Amino acid sequence: MDERENLNLISFQTIQKDMQPLLFCRYDPLGRLLLRASPKYVWPIVVFAFALYSLAMLGGGSVLSILYAQRSVLFLSLFDSRELFIAIFAYLMTAPLVWLFYTWQPRGISNVFYQLYQNDVIGEIQNSTSQRIFNPNSLMGKIHFWLSLVLTAIGILVWLSAIYSPFNPFVFEETSFWWMLNPIYLWIIWIPLVFINLYMVTWIVFRQIAATVAFTSLFKVFQIKPKVLHPDECNGLAPVGDYSIRSALIAVFFGFWLFVFTTYPMLFGQPMNLKIDTFLLFIAYIIAVPSLLLPPVMGAHKAMVEAKNRALEDLAEQIRVLLEETDGEKILLSKDLLSELERRYEIATKKYRTWPFRPLSIKGFGVSAVMPIVSTGISYLIDLYLRR
C-alpha cells in the first residue's frame, strides 16, 4: 500500500469514527438523553415507551372513564369497543414503534459507515482536493431544534382540529372523548405525550435528510471497490440498502395505520372513511415509500454503475486488443486467453450489482408496501357489495 492509499484509508477511517450516533442528536436534547440512557440497545427505550403509554394513556383513560361514567357524563369511554381497539393500536403499537425508529435511526446511520469500513469497499479519493466528505457538525444545526418545535406545534394544532371536526368518523356521534374530560389530564399528560411523538417524527425526517446527504457525499468523494460474490449479494454495499429498507418501513407502517383509519368504521356499520383527506393521505403514502427508500441509496447506485462499467470496459479493452490481432500464430496462442476474458466478462456482467439491495429483502419490502393499498381496495369492494 503506497502513501496515497494509506492517507485515503485513514481519511475514511476518520470519517467513519466521526459518524457516531450522538452526532445526529447534537441539537436534539431528547434524542441525546435516550442515547445516553441506553447507549448500546434500543429495546430498553421501547419497553419504557410501552410502559409509559400503557400507564399514562390506557391507565389514565381507564380512571377517567370510570370516574366520569359515574357522573353520567356523555362521552366516548375508553372501554367502549369502538374506542378501545383504536386506543390500543395508537398507544401500544404506534407510539412505541415511533420511539423504536427514533432511537434506532442515529445508530443505523452510524452503523452504515462502520460496516462499509469493515467490508473494505471504500477506495481512493476521486477528488484530490477533497480531504473530507463534509463537516459532520454541519449535518445538524440549532435551526433543526427550533424548526422541530414549530412543526410539532403545527402538527398538534392540525391533529386537534381534525379530532374536533364534525366530520371525524371516530366520534361515533358522541359529544366528547375520554381524554378531553379533564383539563389537567389533557394539558399535562395527553398533549405532552402526543407532542413527544410528533417531535420524534420531525427529527426522523431531519435525520433521514442528513443520512441521504452523508451517503451521497461519501460516494461522490470516494471511489468504491465492489467485492464480487460478497456474501451480502450486493458487492459489500448492502449496509446502505439495509438502512434504506428499514427507514422506509416506517412509511409502510403508516400505510397499515391508514388502512385501519379508513376501514375501522366499517366494523360498526358505518361507511368507509373515504374522504378527500384520506384520499390525499394515500397519495402521500404512495409518494412517501419511494421517497424514503430511494434517495439514501442513489449515491451508492450511481457509484456501483460506474464501478461495473469500469470493470467491463477494462475487460472489453483486453478483448478488443486480442480481436485486432492479425498474426495467425499469435491468434492461436491467444485463443484460450480470449475464452477466459469472455468468461470473466460474462461473470462481471452478472455479478457486479448496481443496487445495494439484498434481493430477498427488497422483494419482501415490495410486498409489504403494496399490502395497505391492496387491503384497502378489497375492503372498498366489500363495502360496496354490502351496501348494494
Task: Please state, in angstroms and rounded to a whole number, the distance separating the CA atoms of residues 294 and 301.
Answer: 10
Task: Please state, in angstroms and rounded to a whole number, the distance separating the CA atoms of residues 319 and 122.
Answer: 28
Residue 193 — very low, low, confident or very high, per pLDDT cuts 50/70/90?
very high
Task: Please state, in angstroms and rounded to a whole number, the distance separating the CA atoms of residues 224 and 300.
Answer: 9
Task: Please state, in angstroms and rounded to a whole number, the distance separating the CA atoms of residues 10 and 122.
Answer: 11
Question: Is the pLDDT assigned to residue 99 strictly greater than 50?
Answer: yes
Q: Enter the DSSP assignment of 55.
A: I
Pick the more confident residue, 23 or 134: 23
Residue 6 — very low, low, confident or very high, per pLDDT cuts 50/70/90?
very low
Closest CA to 295 of 208, 367, 235: 208
**H-run or E-run covering 322:** helix 295-323
Residue 7: what pLDDT?
42
229, burial (CB in 10 Å: exposed 0-12, middle 13-18, buried 19+): exposed
348, burial (CB in 10 Å: exposed 0-12, middle 13-18, buried 19+): middle
Residue 1: what pLDDT?
43
pLDDT (average), residues 112-136: 73
Residue 122: what pLDDT?
87
Question: Is the pLDDT assigned to residue 98 strictly greater than 90?
Answer: yes
Residue 129 — very low, low, confident or very high, per pLDDT cuts 50/70/90?
very low
Q: What is the mean pLDDT of the chain?
A: 83
pLDDT (average), residues 15-32: 81
Mapping DSSP onto H, E and C, the string for 211-260 reads HHHHHHHHHHHEEECCCCCCCCCCCCCHHHHHHHHHHHHHHHHHHHHHHH
pLDDT (average), residues 237-247: 94
Pick the more confident residue, 175 or 345: 345
Render 133-195 in DSSP notation, one character per residue. Answer: S--GGGSS-HHHHHHHHHHHHHHHHHHHHHHHSTT-TTSTT-S-BGGGS-HHHIIIIIHHHHH
Question: Is the pLDDT assigned to residue 371 strictly greater than 80?
Answer: yes
pLDDT (average), residues 380-385: 78
pLDDT (average), residues 181-190: 89
Residue 385: what pLDDT?
73
pLDDT (average), residues 355-359: 93
Report the share of the chain in percent with pLDDT over 90.
34
Rounded (10°) CA dihedral 51, 56, 58, 59: 100
Which residues, at least 6 apart from 50, have a Cβ–Cβ distance to it below 8 Å? 92, 96
Question: Is the pLDDT assigned to residue 297 strictly greater than 50?
Answer: yes
Residue 308: what pLDDT?
93
Contact (CB, 8 A) for 351 and 228: yes
Which residues, at least 6 apart from 321, have a Cβ–Cβ distance to it below 8 Å? none
Task: Please state, in angstroms and rounded to a whole number, the distance separating the CA atoms of residues 128 and 221.
Answer: 9
pLDDT (average), residues 37-55: 92
82-86, 109-113, 291-295, 371-375: least confidently modelled range: 82-86
Question: Is the pLDDT assigned to residue 15 strictly greater than 80?
Answer: no
Residue 242: what pLDDT?
95
Residue 134: what pLDDT?
54
